């Protein structure tokens, strides 16, 4: 099995109807070539635009047989295991074909078997299946009416279409301001009857609530093995991966595993004129011997890119946007052709890395809460990097790594006075001592993003206690302009939106 350097498709806009139809031109935030797909099945037609890396035909992103057609954005990480349950002699060529064969054997339960980063649309008989990976890490949106199901990996492409009008979809999240558009839940298959437009949601994954007690050495060995495997599955043979590296334990751990898996590694760190973690990243670079680059982005330029962060993530959560903005700015600064990028994103959620005290009850409360509320925030969206043509993937949210980390008892996460103890101990032989013991520092803190965004608001006359609320208004207005309104982020001025949000807040508060 050879693994491609990039997935066959990064995203799609698709429509299924009993008769034919056509897919309107789509404007994706994802950068890439567009390929049209037009599949006539006996009982329905599936037409789509796939967005994919230029120069790579997206053949492996689509598959069909007599009665079923599959579209896939993203990739699978447990291919060998998936192949092993197929009849001998079946040689699926690419992940969409693999999925098609699994669907024949297991029906929609096939999605329970897959460890991946993907969104999929399946047309079969008079039904449409919309599936997300366990984490919903590739966002998937839909608009459903009797006789038509539209689906897209970017809500903005559905906003641009007025049809179909859209039925309510029970148990799915409405997209703010976009009538009739819903986001498919993480870890689920939405099964839609094409004739009636009625839907049933089947959960295919849920965060564990039970906790495992393990001896220290067993827990650290299990974490190391799971992370090594998840990183290796995300490294393509012959390709040098790129790790976005802060010098914190999470990304440094990924860098150590990736260097081992690939034999060579590129790393990149971003900082601003107000703060950076360059020295801490450099310690890891020197230890591993990576080819490294530092990118400094002035805070004013960083804030000017807020419209891009909202456009790419399609998130309305201001805290999440502060985490994502420095990364979006970093990805945008990476020139050249599409790279496979690994991040240390998401480790703090199952490990409660933000928990800065020794008592354990609150730690597990934080884990349960965060695991119950991540869906729809779009923190892991591939569009963040795909807007400059790069494919990003997050080993800590690999299904096996995540299941393990979530399930460990709280005393293994906070231990010997350290946050994320089990991860630090698991990586002790692979990284410098200073990296292993370095306290957590959020990307929004290390880059000064939170404080420079606050300062911008205060310069526009926002009072200190109102900063949080005005940030929420700013992000929502950026969302309405770039996602709902179809404005390109290059035409949207952060300063103007801040001015208007500050004024609206002042009027409302007066």
Nearer to ligand ATP, 277 or 364 (CB): 277
Provide the mask over 294-333, with x wherever binding to Mg ion is found by CB under 5 A and - wherever it is not. Answer: ----------------------------------------
Which of Mg ion, ligand ATP, none is residue 95 near (CB under 5 to 8 Å by kind)? Answer: none
Asked whether position 313 contacts ligand ATP by CB under 6 A, the answer is no
* Of the candidates 286, 295, 378, the residue with the CA atom closest to the CA atom of residue 331: 295
User: In this chain, which of 46, 96, 230, 270 binds ligand ATP, going by CB under 6 A?
Assistant: 270
- The position carrying tokens 């608009």 is 143
Asked whether position 86 contacts Mg ion by CB under 5 A, the answer is no
Nearer to ligand ATP, 45 or 251 (CB): 251
> Which region among 131-139, 312-320, 382-390, 435-443 touches ligand ATP (by CB under 6 A)?
435-443
Active site residue 379: yes
Q: Can you tell me the distance from the alpha carbon of 73 to that of 106, in angstroms, rounded to the nearest whole number?
A: 21
Asked whether position 95 contacts ligand ATP by CB under 6 A, the answer is no
> Which region among 140-148, 182-190, 367-375, 438-446 touches Mg ion (by CB under 5 A)?
438-446
CB of 347 to Mg ion, least distance (A): 5
Kindly name the residue from 345, 396, 420, 471 that is annotated as catalytic: 345
Cα distances from 293 to residues 54, 74, 204, 325, in angstroms, run 25, 27, 40, 19
* Of the candidates 412, 361, 375, the residue with the CA atom closest to the CA atom of residue 219: 412
Instruction: Return the residues of window 453-492 that contact ligand ATP according to CB under 6 A.
Output: none
Asked whether position 440 contacts ligand ATP by CB under 6 A, the answer is yes
Asked whether position 446 contacts ligand ATP by CB under 6 A, the answer is yes
Residues with Cβ within 8 Å of 261's Cβ and at least 6 positions away in sequence, in order, are 228, 231, 232, 235
Nearer to ligand ATP, 143 or 332 (CB): 332
Cα distances from 466 to residues 306, 444, 454, in angstroms, run 19, 19, 10
Instruction: Return the residues of window 324-343 that contact ligand ATP according to CB under 6 A.
Output: 327, 330, 343
- The alpha carbon dihedral of 153, 119, 51, 46 has a sign of negative
User: In this chain, which of 315, 388, 447, 450 binds ligand ATP, going by CB under 6 A?
Assistant: 447
Asked whether position 348 contacts Mg ion by CB under 5 A, the answer is yes
Asked whether position 393 contacts ligand ATP by CB under 6 A, the answer is no
Asked whether position 441 contacts Mg ion by CB under 5 A, the answer is yes
Nearer to ligand ATP, 189 or 249 (CB): 249
Asked whether position 116 contacts Mg ion by CB under 5 A, the answer is no
E strands present in 259-378:
266-272, 291-297, 340-342
What is the enclosing helix (H) or strand (E) of 368? helix 361-373
CB atoms within 10 A of CB 432: 16
Cα distances from 132 to residues 39, 120, 200, 315, 401, in angstroms, run 22, 7, 14, 17, 18
CB of 256 to ligand ATP, least distance (A): 12
DSSP code string of 37-79:
EEEE-SS-EEEEEEEE-TTS-GGGGEEE-SSEEEEEEEEES-H
For the chain, the distance separating the N- and C-terminal CA atoms, rounded to the nearest angstrom, is 65
Residues with Cβ within 8 Å of 192's Cβ and at least 6 positions away in sequence, in order, are 127, 128, 129, 130, 142, 144, 149, 198, 199
CB of 169 to ligand ATP, least distance (A): 32
Cα distances from 412 to residues 108, 187, 251, 431, 506, in angstroms, run 36, 27, 20, 20, 47
Which of ligand ATP, Mg ion, none is residue 147 near (CB under 5 to 8 Å by kind)? Answer: none
User: In this chain, which of 141, 182, 311, 345 binds ligand ATP, going by CB under 6 A?
Assistant: 345
Nearer to ligand ATP, 240 or 269 (CB): 269
Active site residue 345: yes
Asked whether position 242 contacts ligand ATP by CB under 6 A, the answer is no
Q: Can you tell me the distance from the alpha carbon of 314 to that of 377, in angstroms, rounded to the nearest whole number?
A: 8
Which of Mg ion, ligand ATP, none is residue 345 near (CB under 5 to 8 Å by kind)? Answer: ligand ATP
Kindly name the residue from 379, 396, 413, 471 that is annotated as catalytic: 379
Nearer to ligand ATP, 142 or 269 (CB): 269
Which of Mg ion, ligand ATP, none is residue 447 near (CB under 5 to 8 Å by kind)? Answer: ligand ATP
* Of the candidates 245, 247, 186, 249, the residue with the CA atom closest to the CA atom of residue 413: 249
As given in the structure block, the two tokens for residue 348 are 């703090």
Which pairing describes strands 391-393 and 148-152: parallel, antiparallel, or unpaired? unpaired
Active site residue 106: no
Provide the mask over 51-70, with x wherever binding to Mg ion is found by CB under 5 A and - wherever it is not. Answer: --------------------
DSSP code string of 398-466:
SHHHHHHHHHB-HHHHSBTTBTTHHHHHHTTTTS-HHHHTPPP--HHHHTTHHHHHHHHHHHTT--GGG
Asked whether position 391 contacts ligand ATP by CB under 6 A, the answer is no
Q: What angle do CA 451, 453, 454 make, to 5 degrees?
A: 65
Asked whether position 364 contacts ligand ATP by CB under 6 A, the answer is no
Contact residues: ligand ATP, CB under 6 A:
244-246, 248-251, 269-271, 277, 327, 330, 343-345, 348, 353, 440-443, 446-447
* Residue ranges binding Mg ion (CB under 5 A): 232, 235, 246, 248, 250, 347-348, 441
Catalytic residues: 345, 379, 440
């Amino acid at each position: 099995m050879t693994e491609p350097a990039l997935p066959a498709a990064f995203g799609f806009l698709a429509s299924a109807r009993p008769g034919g139809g056509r897919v309107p031109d789509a404007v994706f935030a994802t950068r890439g070539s567009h390929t049209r797909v037009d599949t006539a099945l006996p009982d329905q037609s599936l037409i789509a635009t796939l967005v994919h890396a230029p120069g790579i035909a997206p053949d492996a992103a689509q598959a069909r047989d007599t009665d079923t057609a599959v579209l896939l954005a993203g990739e699978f990480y447990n291919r060998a295991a998936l192949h092993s349950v197929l009849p001998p002699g079946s040689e699926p060529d690419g992940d969409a074909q693999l999925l098609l064969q699994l669907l024949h054997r297991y029906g929609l339960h096939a999605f329970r078997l897959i460890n991946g980063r993907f969104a999929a649309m399946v047309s079969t008989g008079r039904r449409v299946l919309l599936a997300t990976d366990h984490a919903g890490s590739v966002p998937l949106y839909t608009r459903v009416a009797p006789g038509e199901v539209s689906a897209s990996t970017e809500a903005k492409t559905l906003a641009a279409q007025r049809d179909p009008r859209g039925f309510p979809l029970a148990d799915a999240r409405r997209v703010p301001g976009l009538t009739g558009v819903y986001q498919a839940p993480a870890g689920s298959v939405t099964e839609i009857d094409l004739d009636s437009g009625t839907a049933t949601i089947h959960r295919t994954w849920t965060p564990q609530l039970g906790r495992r007690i393990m001896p220290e050495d067993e827990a650290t060995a299990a974490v190391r093995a799971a992370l090594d495997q998840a990183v290796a599955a995300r490294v393509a043979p012959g390709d040098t991966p790129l790790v976005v590296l802060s010098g914190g334990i999470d990304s440094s751990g990924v860098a150590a595993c990736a260097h081992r898996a690939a034999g060579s590694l590129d790393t990149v760190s971003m900082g601003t004129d107000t703060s950076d973690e360059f020295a801490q990243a450099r310690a890891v670079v020197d230890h591993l011997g990576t080819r490294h680059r530092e990118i400094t982005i002035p805070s004013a330029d960083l804030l000017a890119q807020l419209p891009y962060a909202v456009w790419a993530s399609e998130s309305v959560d201001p805290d999440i946007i502060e985490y994502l903005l420095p990364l979006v700015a970093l990805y945008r600064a990476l020139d050249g052709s599409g790279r496979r990028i690994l991040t240390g994103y998401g480790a703090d959620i199952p490990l409660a890395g933000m928990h800065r005290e020794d008592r354990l009850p609150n730690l597990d409360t934080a884990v349960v809460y965060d695991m119950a509320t991540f869906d729809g925030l779009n923190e892991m969206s591939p569009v963040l990097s795909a807007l400059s043509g790069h494919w990003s993937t997050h080993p800590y949210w690999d299904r096996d790594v995540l299941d393990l980390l979530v399930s460990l008892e709280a005393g293994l996460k906070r231990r010997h006075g350290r946050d994320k103890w089990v991860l630090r101990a698991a990586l002790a032989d692979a990284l410098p001592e200073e990296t292993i013991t370095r306290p957590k520092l959020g990307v929004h803190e290390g880059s000064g993003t939170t404080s420079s965004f606050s300062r911008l608001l205060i310069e526009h006359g926002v009072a200190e206690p109102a900063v949080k609320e005005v940030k929420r208004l700013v992000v929502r207005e950026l969302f309405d302009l770039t996602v709902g309104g179809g404005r390109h982020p290059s035409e949207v001025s952060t300063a103007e939106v801040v001015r208007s949000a500050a004024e609206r807040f002042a009027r409302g508060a007066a």
